[in-house]
Structure 1
Amino acid sequence: MTFEKIQGIIVEELGKDAEEVQLTTNIQEELDADSLDLFQIINEIEDAFDVKIESEENIQTVADLVNFVDQQLAEK
């Protein structure tokens, strides 16, 4: 469920097809997202899941985002 929601946010923000956004997809390299795109995606994810993502440094792939959000939700 987390993946589908995050996938939807990335598809909407970057104008990509859902097939392009998989768990192993590198957001910046494979989806051509710049730091502003990543910032927007993170803001949308924070709002959608009511979590706080402190740093973008460790976020490379879609799976990194999903795992981070799942971890934050588990701690609530």
Structure 2
Amino acid sequence: MVFDRIKKVVCEQLGVSEEDVKLETTFEALGADSLDLFQVVIELEEEFDIQLEDAENMKSIQDAVTYVNSKIA
């Protein structure tokens, strides 16, 4: 499932626990700054073998899931 893979990447990159990462969770709530988000995007691109443009529009985990799903569909 895409969400589980994204959650794993987010937890590894941001050093947060899995309980903190839900679909409605924002990256800001996880304490991510722009550099952190950049690292998450790079890892997601590698994890899913995709290119993420407009990644600055990803504000929440749900946004990331929706965006990745649109790229791998």
Coarse TM-score class (shorter-chain normalised): over 0.9
| TM-score normalized with structure 2 length | 0.96
* Secondary structure of residue in 1 paired with 2:40: helix
Q: Following the alignment from structure 2 to structure 1, what is the Cα–Cα distance between the partners of residues 12 and 3? A: 14
* Percent of aligned positions that are identical: 41
| TM-score normalized with structure 1 length | 0.92
- Structure 1 partner of 2:15: 15
Q: Following the alignment from structure 1 to structure 2, what is the Cα–Cα distance between the partners of residues 38 and 8? A: 14
4+ runs deviating over 3 angstroms: none
Q: Which amino acid aligns with 1:25?
A: T
Q: How many residues align?
A: 73
Q: Which amino acid aligns with 1:16?
A: V
Q: Which amino acid aligns with 1:55?
A: D
- Structure 2 partner of 1:35: 34
